[in-house]
């Protein structure tokens, strides 16, 4: 199911002289506590600006559900109109805030009011495909026969390819009355879903059948990420990365520029820590590493101070960041091609031979490669 979250998206702001107490908001966030303080000081909650906008209408425009509660409790006129005939309910329907719509209707907003262009709240839901807004309006028996621009809400939804809203209106109009419609609906997450209507909840698809919910199948549009279920188009953060569920596929959305992740550990920007021979620093969301001065690096591998190892006939030692390299000539003799005598072996010198040292018949012939290697036959 698509999740609708109505967040206050504007901040207390004095816009015009007629709003001397600062009840008109624009841009940023609305703070309900600060709003309540203004009201307690005597601000007129129903004062309008030159365009007829009241604070309540602005809560509908900006889907500011928390401030809407404060204004309704303070006695704001729920059906107040601006110069264009728009009310808070119309603006909330346009802004897709079903929570705002529900509260305004409970407070007595006229569900079938028409603005100066004959538009109703259900027309806005149909025009823009706001399914949950439409469900709330139908719950309050919205009139779906009102004509706007020579089209009913149903025709508007179909014309604009908003088929889910169209299906809701069809199910509503199919019944003989609004009361009959509501008898056959299924209540899920605060919404009345029509009869024979499929809906998704918790990543499962159900169908409403004569008021009873019937499970149909799992929702393939949901995503399972590390054991957590996410609905379609949901965005979440895991560690320092954000992800989105897109039709059942988890997509990366980007990195958080304020942190770095190493395994399960999260490090804020500017943090420095040690791990073995490396010193790590989180800078602008990127991990920067530097080798400690006491460590040595060879063939892409770090070695700590005091480490000793052999590699390809070389004996290495790391001493406080300095790499010491000694060649093992005996190793070189043993690892190169054997001498050209059956059963012979190249060793470092005559003293290393436990058998007979074989010499070549000609000085130009070399039985072993390397200046110190001799051919030994045991």
- Does residue 211 lie within any of the structural domains? no
Residues 368 and 343 in one domain: yes
Mean pLDDT over each residue of the chain, to the nearest integer: 84
Q: What is the pLDDT of residue 6?
A: 32
Winning range, highest mean pLDDT, from 30-39, 146-155, 238-247, 259-268: 146-155
Q: What is the pLDDT of residue 329?
A: 64
- Does residue 350 lie within any of the structural domains? yes
Mean pLDDT of the region 15-30: 42
| Measured distance CA(120)–CA(145) in Å, rounded | 11
Task: Please name which of 103, 93, 94 lies closest in space to residue 71, comparing C-alpha atoms.
Answer: 103
Q: What is the pLDDT of residue 215?
A: 86
CB of 347 within 8 A of CB of 353? yes
Is residue 10 predicted with pLDDT exceeding 70? no
Residue 258, SS3?
coil
Is residue 313 predicted with pLDDT exceeding 80? no
Mean pLDDT of the region 235-244: 86
Q: What is the pLDDT of residue 3?
A: 31
Is residue 77 predicted with pLDDT exceeding 80? yes
- List the structure tokens of 97: 């805030």
Residue 215, SS3?
strand
Residues 322 and 348 in one domain: no
Winning range, highest mean pLDDT, from 22-26, 118-122, 246-250, 283-287: 118-122
Burial class (CB in 10 A: 0-12, 13-18, 19+), 60: buried
- Does residue 318 lie within any of the structural domains? yes
| Measured distance CA(104)–CA(109) in Å, rounded | 6
The pLDDT-based confidence of 1 (bands split at 50, 70, 90) is very low
pLDDT in tens, 107-142: 999 999 999 999 999 999 999 999 999 999 999 999
> DSSP assignment, residue 151?
B
Is residue 104 predicted with pLDDT exceeding 90? yes
Location of structure tokens 């007595």: 108
- Does residue 354 lie within any of the structural domains? yes
Q: What is the pLDDT of residue 85?
A: 95
Q: How many CB atoms lie within 10 A of CB 344?
A: 21
CB of 142 within 8 A of CB of 112? yes
Rg from Cα positions in the chain: 39
Q: What is the pLDDT of residue 21?
A: 34
Q: What is the pLDDT of residue 116?
A: 94
Which three-class secondary structure string do you get for 44-58? Answer: CCCCCCCCCCCHHHH
Q: What is the pLDDT of residue 336?
A: 58
| Measured distance CA(233)–CA(251) in Å, rounded | 10
- Does residue 287 lie within any of the structural domains? no
Location of structure tokens 């060879």: 298
- Does residue 305 lie within any of the structural domains? yes
Winning range, highest mean pLDDT, from 7-16, 20-29, 93-102: 93-102
Is residue 167 predicted with pLDDT exceeding 90? yes
Decide: pTM greater than 0.85.
no
Q: What is the pLDDT of residue 71?
A: 94
CB of 358 within 8 A of CB of 376? yes
Which domain, by its residues, includes 351? 336-377
Is residue 89 predicted with pLDDT exceeding 90? yes
| Measured distance CA(235)–CA(253) in Å, rounded | 8
Q: What is the pLDDT of residue 19?
A: 36
Burial class (CB in 10 A: 0-12, 13-18, 19+), 327: exposed
In sequence order, the β-bridge partners of residue 302 are 297
Residues 344 and 369 in one domain: yes
How many domains, in total, are found in the chain?
Answer: 2
The more confident residue out of 139 and 363 is: 139
- Does residue 302 lie within any of the structural domains? yes
Residue 274, SS3?
strand
Q: What is the pLDDT of residue 29?
A: 58
Mean pLDDT of the region 284-292: 88
Is residue 352 predicted with pLDDT exceeding 60? yes
Q: How many CB atoms lie within 10 A of CB 159?
A: 13
Q: What is the pLDDT of residue 296?
A: 92
The more confident residue out of 237 and 339 is: 237
- Does residue 54 lie within any of the structural domains? no
The more confident residue out of 313 and 32 is: 32
Location of structure tokens 């390299």: 325
Residues 363 and 341 in one domain: yes
The pLDDT-based confidence of 342 (bands split at 50, 70, 90) is low
Residue 183, SS3?
helix
| Measured distance CA(239)–CA(216) in Å, rounded | 35
Q: What is the pLDDT of residue 78?
A: 97
């Amino acid at each position: 199911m698509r999740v609708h979250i109505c967040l206050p998206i504007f901040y207390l702001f004095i816009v015009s002289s007629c709003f001397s107490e600062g009840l008109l908001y624009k841009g940023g966030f609305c703070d309900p506590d600060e709003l309540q303080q203004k009201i307690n000081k005597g601000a007129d909650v129903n004062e309008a600006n030159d365009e007829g906008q009241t604070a309540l209408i602005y809560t509908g425009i900006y889907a500011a559900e928390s401030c809407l509660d404060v204004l309704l409790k303070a006695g704001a006129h729920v059906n107040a109109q601006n110069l264009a005939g728009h009310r808070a309910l119309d603006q909330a329907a346009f802004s897709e805030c079903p929570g705002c719509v529900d509260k305004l209707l409970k407070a007595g907003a006229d569900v079938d009011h028409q603005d100066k262009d004959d538009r109703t709240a259900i027309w806005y839901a149909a025009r823009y495909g706001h399914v949950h807004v439409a469900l709330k309006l139908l719950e309050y028996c919205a009139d779906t026969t009102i004509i706007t621009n020579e089209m009913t809400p149903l025709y508007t939804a179909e014309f604009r390819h908003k088929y889910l809203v169209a299906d809701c209106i069809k199910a509503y109009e199919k019944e003989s009355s609004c009361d009959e419609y509501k008898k056959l609906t299924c209540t899920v997450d605060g919404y009345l879903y029509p009869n024979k209507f499929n809906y998704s909840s918790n990543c499962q698809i159900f169908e409403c059948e004569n008021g009873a919910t019937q499970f149909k199948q799992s929702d393939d549009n949901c995503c399972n990420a590390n054991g957590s279920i996410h609905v379609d188009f949901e965005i979440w953060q895991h560690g320092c990365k954000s992800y989105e569920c897109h039709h059942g596929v988890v997509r990366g959305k980007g990195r958080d520029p304020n942190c770095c992740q190493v395994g399960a550990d999260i490090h804020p920007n500017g943090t420095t820590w040690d791990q073995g021979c490396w010193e790590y620093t989180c800078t602008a969301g990127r991990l920067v590493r530097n080798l400690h001065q006491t460590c040595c690096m060879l063939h892409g591998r770090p070695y700590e101070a005091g480490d000793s190892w052999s590699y390809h006939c070389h004996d290495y030692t790391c001493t406080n960041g300095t790499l010491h390299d000694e060649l093992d000539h005996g190793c070189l003799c043993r690892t190169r091609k054997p001498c050209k005598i059956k059963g012979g072996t190249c060793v470092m010198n005559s003293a290393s031979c436990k058998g007979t040292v074989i010499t070549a018949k000609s000085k130009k012939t070399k039985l072993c490669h390397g200046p110190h290697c001799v051919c030994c036959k045991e």
